[in-house]
A and B are shown apart, each in its own frame.
Chain A
């Protein structure tokens, strides 16, 4: 199963993706947490260098960082098979510039790699689950629109065919799941719900919503009333009012989802572990 985790920047996407991966691994599934792009976010958290080949974090959890060019290289290697030609291909100055510049090529290579398991292409990926710490909303759209766009633009030939087969996997709930992470704040919810709508329209999948950083207050709004006028009590009252308003807005959409609590753990590794124990405990 491929799990894509996205949401507006700053909502805790990466922590939620890591918590999901942690959770799956603890259930005994062989899980690969995948970062995209040129810089690793998790290297400080798991204290390890993260590159194209998976590194083990626990017995069931591994971490990897994939970026477009390396994926493209592997893909080409798989087809050409002759190392010398592959080398020639990538050392070719023009080809390098093309790989950097051609529209959608890198996105296609990334998604090609991510979906290579179900499509039975390339080297096997020996994991039960891939959890993709995807880009924030705008870039995530660009990522999935690359194979859709190319598939439509190129009616014939291997490139068009590959694009369409990637799209088929992303459409299929047997292989792929989407998670939209939000915070109980206006903008992250607005942007998250827009993303959810685009996933429904363009990928024909119903994403799962994750409302992260929910304030679990030990006092109810009614109990807080006694302390009105104190700045901490007023803060909590306002926060609780706002988050229940936003929750109602999210519930109106009728999508499935869950709430994850605001955790006060002092560091990210602890937060991720704690978050994973709360996974799917409280539905929307």
Chain B
């Protein structure tokens, strides 16, 4: 694992919701820092107590030195604020103010398609370029499917396509209303249909929204291109974090293909919360219990439970066969208590350090 971290500048942890991406990102960053790398971990929505352990809870949007850990910094991304700051840094203040005043922006920018993804990639880009870190670890926003992360910033970029901007926005267009600017009869029908469906107030707001947004067009384009370069760089590796159940494993396989299709580098798979410790091997039962009826109930429950894990193991074996042969796959056992403090993270760090090498054994 340490070799992997040392040979990369960016590690991106991806996976669908509820698989433990945030905790693993923090553990990986801790391992890197302990191994001598100046490391930054970017995280979206950490659990409160984890955020507290990392020292970022009170400082959303700021890079914070993690207390008690040399070389480790952390940042909790606040998408709304980041996007506002991006707007302020990209256009002059009059236009920024106009956009902030737009009612669609006010109501919906937090939920804008791809906004969270865009802002976390923006932060990643800035951190990677700053030269302050040997390694940046990115915990990706929660998504239904892991692949949403890769496509989300394209979706945001779709907002800035020439066609949309040109159609709605009125840059230097004098007094031409956007309806009058439409050229052919087909478009006119479409436009009036849209107006009939949504109402003129909506159209006015939408137009104002795109008007202001149009000033961001070239800046967003620059960011998207630069982000694309970082994502495709040989120094960037993706780690797929997945759970054990069949639907999660299936998603992981699909995502492996998605990454390949996008020409991105999958560095490994972490199968999180695999087995609890007791289910790892055979159980020894002291002979003196044999006559106790409670023991018989315990033992038969144990058999039932073991079989359940056996089914999972088989599902996993089918999954493993479909992964690329040389890809490291690591199973992390289930921790019974939730992982919250730095000591908990260190336990995971130890497992990552020790077990990564024989991951495929």
Contact = CB atoms under 8 A, between A and B. Distances in A.
Question: Is chain B's binding surface mostly helix, strand, loop or mixed?
Answer: helix
B113 interface: yes
A248 interface: no
A150 B104 CA distance: 7
A138 B337 CA distance: 24
A186 interface: yes
A159 B197 contact: yes
B150 interface: no
Given A101-B164, A219-B298, A219-B301, A150 B190 contact: no
Nearest to A139: B144
Interface in B102-132: 103-113
A97 B111 contact: no
Question: Is chain A's binding surface mostly helix, strand, loop or mixed?
Answer: helix
A158 interface: yes
A9 interface: yes
A9 B278 contact: no
Contact of A95 (B194, B196, B304): B194
Given A8-B18, A11-B18, A242-B336, A154 B186 contact: no
Given A85-B190, A187-B47, A226-B294, 11 more contacts: A8-B18, A10-B248, A152-B107, A154-B199, A157-B202, A159-B202, A160-B201, A160-B202, A218-B301, A230-B283, A267-B311
B198 A235 contact: no
B278 A138 contact: no
Interface stretch (B6-14, B33-41, B154-162): B154-162
A264 B144 contact: no
Contacts of A218: 297-298, 300-301
Contacts of A233: 298
Interface of A: 8-11, 14, 37, 39, 41, 44, 76, 79-80, 85, 88-89, 92-95, 97-98, 100-104, 106-107, 135-139, 142, 145-146, 149-150, 152-161, 185-188, 190, 217-219, 223-224, 226-227, 230-235, 238-239, 242, 264, 266-268
Contacts of A268: 246-247
> Which of B145, B285, B298, B338: most chain A CB closer than 10 A?
B298
A97 B164 contact: yes
Nearest to A80: B193
B17 A8 contact: yes
A234 B336 CA distance: 11
B205 interface: yes
A250 to B, nearest CB: 16
28 contacts: A9-B142, A9-B144, A14-B247, A39-B145, A88-B190, A89-B190, A89-B194, A92-B190, A97-B164, A101-B155, A103-B104, A103-B113, A135-B144, A138-B45, A145-B107, A154-B199, A156-B201, A160-B201, A185-B338, A218-B298, A218-B300, A218-B301, A223-B294, A227-B289, A230-B285, A239-B336, A264-B305, A267-B311
A139 B149 CA distance: 13
B302 interface: yes
Contacts, number: 200
Contact of A235 (B107, B193, B311, B336): B336
Given A190-B47, A239-B336, A158 B197 contact: yes
Contacts of B209: 103
A6 B186 CA distance: 42
Interface of B: 16-19, 45, 47-48, 103-113, 141-145, 155-156, 158-159, 161, 163-164, 167-168, 186-187, 189-190, 193-194, 196-202, 205-206, 209, 243, 246-248, 250, 276-278, 283, 285, 289, 292, 294-295, 297-298, 300-302, 304-305, 307-308, 311, 336-338, 340
A185 to B, nearest CB: 6
A153 to B, nearest CB: 4
A14 to B, nearest CB: 8
Nearest to A157: B199
A272 to B, nearest CB: 12
Contacts of A106: 113
Contact of A232 (B18, B45, B163, B298): B298
A9 to B, nearest CB: 2
A10 B18 contact: yes
A136 B111 contact: no
A92 B308 contact: no
